[in-house]
């Protein structure tokens, strides 16, 4: 068998051999990196576990003392003796014995708890009245945070600090500058917290927990407070200070800056630094840091970086060497096959890229033999077919575009989100918007507001069913014109048969509606003309009757009665005759008022009443009305109450306001009981309005009758036996006057419990 070195099979075989070497190299690299990651992860886990365990041990040591102190503070004897000392005189025997018993009790507790250097008892004001030390301190604990926490019923723990006096350590030796903290617990008696028990804890040598332990010669651990001072001394600290606690900052001796792992701690659990930083001796280390629960202190564990990463460094050297050898081998093989395999494929790729960009006039080199030649020949045939297809597509698209653009109907193309992708000239012209401003907008922007919701439901139905045909929608043009249209859609689908949009046809049916509206308007005009003629006739007849038949006779009647009551004739009349004449005059005036009301109601109905609007002092107006009605109310034995307050001026017609108030007051006098009647008038301000009210304790109005109370000529009692006068115009006039002044009126009433009329007008504020 003769090998053909130009065969594509041979080239693929050679490439496969090359690719076999690469995966092997990659797999080796992956195994090496996995080992690297495993060692790094192990180192990180060791640091985290060691730091966490050590910090938790330190925290547990502190909270063990908290629990011991809680046990002491809850001791019944201590509570009782503390209560005696607080509530007894300092010089009394009771105070002395209580102090003695406390010394005995506290001494016993100090023997059990050697890390308690001193125990204090304070009252709730922070004053120390007992101490296990030689003398009482004269410093109040009131403002200390641990004391305040204890007063609130919780355990209080202070920051770590150096004691300002010599204290006996757990070995019984007095020592200066001991690192210490205070723990406070509430002393709770029968009536609540009666005092605070405070213990001073020796932090110089905690013994109830283990320091960090790792299998490294250079492992070191220490504790710092929130000000970055050492609390527990590091293992390798090089300093001349005998006791560096709380005196030496955890800082780099060269730069003076706080150690990096402490400075960058973010208060979120354990932080690990495997990159490396300079420690308190200037050595390059890695480390981890963890907060000690319940305190402001941090626990730090560190390892010399060179010792920690010695195995990883060796692995990295091996890895880099292996990669270098593999890289050289792969480059050599690749260079060998580039000219025979890569170059022809690259040329074909360049041609493909040009075709993708739309250039179908490319020249494809089909020289040579083998599979690459066959592929190039097939690709050339495909390009020729594409050129022919593009020509046919361009012709079809041109025909469709002409039909779409020149159609007199309104056409638009939308996607499934309701966004307009295209429209024809007729659509843009009808809506009065340039085509470039229409494209990209929502179809709902072109719908009349009152039909928007309906259009949305039609759109959702189309997306679900794919069918819309001759559905009527009202549209809105750019200048606000509204017109009706019938919409039908032709759906658009992608190659997978998924609905992606539609071509929508809109038929403008404005002319049809205009024809219907013209016919309907003609009918309405004819009907309205008939009604106007009829109303005008009734109005003329009514005004004629009122002016001639009612008012004309009143003039001579009133005139003759006034003559009879004149002093020249008064002596010729008997007392009964004078009463009859006065009754005629009174009823004439009453009839005159009724005629005025009828005429006023007629003016209001015909919108001929001229409102003279101005800022009116409603307070003075109501006071004047109140004064004018006082004598009448006394005659009728009615309690008349003026509840008016100092209110702002009202923007209204003063005469109309006077008419409304007097009508409501007169109406109320008709329905209050003959004995113990009461009428109240007043006003209040609310939301820029002045609300007036007229309230009575009369017979009340039923719910059914309240609905018609403001109807013209409506009477609560329309029977022939009714005892109340009037034509039923007063409340109708009130309503029209109030509405004419841009206000509103309402009634609240319950049968047998009286009635209140409210009406509101605008204030000038």
Look at residues 663, 661, 546, 668 and name the one whose alpha carbon lies nearest to residue 603: 546
pLDDT band at 622 (very low <50, low <70, confident <90, very high): very high
Distances in Å between the alpha carbon of 531 and those of 483, 526, 534, 535, 690? 31, 9, 5, 6, 39
Q: Show the tokens assigned to 247.
A: 């005196």
pLDDT tens-digit map of 659-681: 999 999 998 998 899 888 999 99
Q: Show the tokens assigned to 446.
A: 């072109």
In a domain, 199, yes or no: yes
78 backbone dihedrals φ, ψ, rounded to 5°: -60, -40
Q: Show the tokens assigned to 554.
A: 């009143």
Report helix, strand or coil for 487: strand
How far, in Å, CA of 17 to CA of 456, rounded? 64
Least confident of 370-379, 465-474, 541-550, 738-747: 541-550
How far, in Å, CA of 396 to CA of 115, rounded? 98
pLDDT tens-digit map of 537-583: 676 466 556 655 666 666 677 666 767 766 676 677 777 777 777 77
pLDDT band at 208 (very low <50, low <70, confident <90, very high): very low
DSSP label at 445?
A: G
How far, in Å, CA of 205 to CA of 183, rounded? 17
Number of domains composing the chain: 6
Alpha helices in 187-342 (DSSP H): 260-263, 305-308, 310-337
* pLDDT of 225 above 90: no
Look at residue 444 in the predicted model and tell me its pLDDT: 92
188 backbone dihedrals φ, ψ, rounded to 5°: -105, 115
Look at residue 721 in the predicted model and tell me its pLDDT: 39
CB 567 within 8 A of CB 700: no
Q: What percent of the chain is modeled with pLDDT above 90?
A: 23
CB 195 within 8 A of CB 82: yes
Look at residues 753, 745, 655 and name the one whose alpha carbon lies nearest to residue 701: 753
Q: Residues 327-333: what's their mean pLDDT?
A: 61
Least confident of 89-98, 653-662, 702-711: 702-711
Distances in Å between the alpha carbon of 548 and those of 81, 490, 544? 109, 75, 6
Same domain, 641 and 725: yes
Look at residues 331, 275, 334 and name the one whose alpha carbon lies nearest to residue 308: 275
Q: Residues 396-412: what's their mean pLDDT?
A: 76
DSSP secondary structure of 530-593? HHHHHHHHHHHHHHHIIIIIIHHHHHHHHHHHHHHTSHHHHTTS-HHHHHHHHHHHHHHHHHHH
Q: Show the tokens assigned to 49.
A: 């576990």
* pLDDT of 191 above 70: yes
H/E stretch holding 423 reads strand 420-423
| C-alpha angle 296-299-305 in degrees, rounded to nearest 5 | 145
Same domain, 129 and 59: yes
Q: What percent of the chain is modeled with pLDDT above 70?
A: 75
pLDDT tens-digit map of 104-140: 999 898 888 888 888 999 999 989 999 888 777 778 8
Q: Residues 162-167: what's their mean pLDDT?
A: 73
How far, in Å, CA of 736 to CA of 715, rounded? 18
3-state DSSP of 610-649: CCCEEEECHHHHHHHHHHHHHHHHHHCCEEEEECCCCCCC
In the block, residue with structure tokens 């469709």: 400
Same domain, 383 and 235: no
Same domain, 375 and 472: no
H/E stretch holding 352 reads helix 343-356
Which of 426-432's residues contact partners 24+ apart within 8 Å by CB, and which partners?
427/506, 430/477, 430/483, 430/508, 431/475, 431/477, 431/478, 432/477, 432/478, 432/479
pLDDT band at 626 (very low <50, low <70, confident <90, very high): very high
Q: Show the tokens assigned to 197.
A: 């028990």
pLDDT band at 720 (very low <50, low <70, confident <90, very high): very low
Same domain, 199 and 271: yes
* pLDDT of 312 above 90: no
* pLDDT of 209 above 50: no
CB 278 within 8 A of CB 252: yes
In a domain, 248, yes or no: yes
Q: Residues 444-472: what's their mean pLDDT?
A: 89
What are the residues whose beta carbons fall under 8 Å from the beta carbon of 607, sequence distance 6 or more? Answer: none
How far, in Å, CA of 198 to CA of 401, rounded? 93
Same domain, 205 and 58: yes
Distances in Å between the alpha carbon of 322 and those of 31, 38, 174? 12, 20, 66
Q: 33 is in which domain, residue-wise?
A: 8-42+318-350
* pLDDT of 475 above 90: yes
Same domain, 684 and 652: yes
CB 729 within 8 A of CB 597: yes
In a domain, 487, yes or no: yes
DSSP label at 121?
A: E
How far, in Å, CA of 411 to CA of 539, rounded? 57
pLDDT tens-digit map of 1-36: 444 555 444 555 566 556 666 676 677 667 667 777
* pLDDT of 430 above 80: yes
pLDDT band at 253 (very low <50, low <70, confident <90, very high): confident
Distances in Å between the alpha carbon of 327 and those of 200, 318, 331, 333, 336? 68, 14, 6, 10, 14
Same domain, 255 and 133: yes
Look at residue 8 in the predicted model and tell me its pLDDT: 46
Same domain, 692 and 745: yes
Q: Where among 465, 491, 508 does a domain terminate? A: 508
Least confident of 464-468, 541-545, 682-686: 541-545
Same domain, 76 and 127: yes
Look at residue 257 in the predicted model and tell me its pLDDT: 84
* pLDDT of 368 above 70: no
In this structure, what is the dihedral angle of CA atoms 649, 654, 658, 661, given to the nearest 10 degrees? -40
How far, in Å, CA of 760 to CA of 739, rounded? 10
| CATH number of the domain where residue 558 is located | 1.10.287
* pLDDT of 207 above 80: no
Look at residue 419 in the predicted model and tell me its pLDDT: 94
> Count of H helices and E strands in the chain?
20, 25
Q: Where among 569, 602, 635 does a domain terminate? A: 602
Report helix, strand or coil for 671: helix
Q: Where among 580, 602, 624 does a domain terminate? A: 602
* pLDDT of 204 above 70: no
Between 719 and 151, the more confident residue is: 151
**pTM, to two decimals:** 0.40
In a domain, 356, yes or no: no
Look at residues 662, 672, 578, 568 and name the one whose alpha carbon lies nearest to residue 622: 662
pLDDT band at 431 (very low <50, low <70, confident <90, very high): very high
In a domain, 92, yes or no: yes
In a domain, 3, yes or no: no
In a domain, 649, yes or no: yes
Between 489 and 714, the more confident residue is: 489
Report helix, strand or coil for 259: coil
Q: Residues 299-309: what's their mean pLDDT?
A: 85
Question: What's the chain's average pLDDT?
Answer: 80
pLDDT tens-digit map of 335-355: 555 555 556 666 666 767 777
Look at residues 153, 148, 183 and name the one whose alpha carbon lies nearest to residue 294: 183
| CATH number of the domain where residue 89 is located | 3.30.450.20
In a domain, 357, yes or no: no
pLDDT tens-digit map of 226-242: 787 877 767 777 665 65
Same domain, 331 and 387: no
Same domain, 51 and 169: yes
pLDDT tens-digit map of 255-297: 778 888 888 887 777 888 888 888 888 888 888 888 888 788 8
| CATH number of the domain where residue 725 is located | 3.30.565.10
């Amino acid at each position: 068998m003769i090998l053909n070195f130009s065969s594509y099979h041979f080239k693929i075989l050679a490439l496969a051999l090359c690719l076999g070497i690469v995966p092997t190299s990659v797999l080796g690299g992956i195994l090496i990196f996995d080992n690297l990651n495993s060692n790094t992860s192990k180192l990180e886990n060791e640091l985290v576990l060691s730091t966490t365990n050590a910090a938790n041990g330190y925290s547990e040591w502190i909270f063990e003392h908290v629990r011991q102190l809680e046990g002491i503070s809850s001791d019944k004897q201590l509570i009782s003796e503390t209560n005696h000392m607080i509530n007894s005189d300092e010089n009394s025997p009771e105070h002395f014995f209580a102090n003695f018993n406390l010394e005995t009790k506290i001494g016993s507790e100090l023997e059990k708890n050697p890390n308690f250097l001193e125990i204090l008892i304070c009252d709730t004001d922070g004053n120390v009245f007992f101490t296990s030390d030689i003398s009482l301190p004269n410093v109040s604990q009131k403002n200390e945070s641990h004391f305040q926490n204890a007063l609130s019923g919780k355990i209080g723990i202070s920051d770590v600090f150096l004691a300002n006096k010599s204290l006996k350590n757990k070995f019984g030796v007095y020592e200066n500058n001991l690192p210490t903290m205070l723990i406070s617990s509430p002393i709770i008696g029968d009536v609540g917290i009666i005092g605070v028990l405070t213990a001073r804890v020796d932090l110089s040598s905690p013994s109830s927990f283990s320091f960090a332990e790792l299998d490294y010669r250079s492992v070191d651990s220490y504790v710092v407070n929130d000000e970055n001072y050492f609390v527990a001394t590091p293992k390798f600290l090089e300093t001349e200070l005998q006791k560096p606690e709380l005196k030496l900052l955890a800082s780099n001796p060269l730069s003076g800056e706080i150690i990096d792992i402490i400075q960058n701690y973010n208060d979120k659990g354990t932080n690990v630094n495997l990159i490396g930083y300079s420690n308190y001796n200037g050595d390059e280390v890695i480390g981890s840091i963890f907060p000690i629960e319940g305190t402001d202190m941090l626990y730090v564990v560190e390892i010399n970086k060179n010792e920690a990463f010695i195995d990883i460094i060796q692995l990295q050297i091996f890895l880099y060497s292996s990669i270098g050898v593999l890289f050289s081998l792969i480059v050599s093989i690749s260079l060998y096959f580039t000219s025979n395999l890569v170059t022809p494929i690259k040329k074909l790729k360049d041609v493909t890229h040009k075709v993708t960009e739309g250039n179908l006039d490319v020249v494809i080199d089909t020289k040579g033999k083998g599979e690459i030649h066959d592929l190039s020949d097939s690709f050339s045939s495909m390009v020729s077919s594409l050129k022919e297809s593009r020509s046919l597509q361009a012709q079809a698209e041109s025909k469709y575009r002409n039909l779409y653009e020149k159609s007199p109907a309104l056409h638009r193309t939308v996607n499934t989100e309701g966004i307009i992708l295209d429209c024809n000239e007729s659509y843009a012209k009808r809506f009065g918007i340039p085509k470039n401003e229409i494209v990209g907008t929502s179809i709902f922007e072109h719908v009349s507001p009152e039909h928007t919701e309906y259009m949305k439901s039609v759109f959702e139905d189309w997306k679900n069913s794919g069918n819309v045909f001759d559905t009527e929608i009202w549209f809105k043009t750019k200048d606000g014109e509204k017109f009706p249209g019938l919409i039908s859609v032709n759906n658009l689908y992608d190659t997978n048969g998924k609905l992606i949009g539609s071509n929508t046809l809109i038929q403008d049916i404005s002319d049809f509606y205009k024809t219907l509206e013209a016919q309907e308007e003609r009918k309405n005009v004819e009907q309205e003309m008939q009604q106007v003629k009829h109303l005008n006739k009734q109005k003329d007849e009514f005004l004629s009757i009122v002016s001639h038949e009612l008012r004309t006779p009143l003039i001579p009647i009133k005139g003759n009665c006034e003559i009879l009551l004149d002093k020249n004739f008064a002596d010729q009349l008997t007392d009964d005759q004078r009463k009859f004449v006065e009754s005629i005059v009174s009823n004439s005036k009453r009839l005159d008022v009724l005629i005025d009301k009828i005429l006023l109601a007629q003016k209001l109905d015909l919108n001929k009443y001229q409102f003279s609007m101005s800022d009116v002092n409603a307070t003075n107006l109501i006071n004047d009305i109140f004064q004018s009605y006082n004598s009448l109310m006394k005659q009728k034995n009615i309690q008349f109450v003026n509840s008016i307050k100092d209110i702002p001026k009202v923007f209204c017609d003063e005469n109309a306001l006077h008419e409304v108030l007097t009508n409501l007051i007169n109406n109320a006098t008709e329905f209050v009981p003959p004995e113990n009647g009461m009428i109240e008038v007043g006003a209040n301000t609310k939301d820029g309005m002045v609300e007036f009210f007229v309230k009575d304790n009369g017979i009340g109005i039923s719910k059914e009758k309240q609905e018609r109370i403001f109807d013209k000529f409506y009477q609560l009692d329309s029977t022939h036996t009714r005892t109340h006068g009037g034509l039923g115009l007063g409340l109708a006039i009130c309503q029209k006057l109030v509405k004419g002044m841009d206000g509103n009126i309402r009634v609240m009433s319950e049968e047998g419990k009286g009635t209140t009329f409210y009406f509101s007008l605008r204030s000038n504020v």
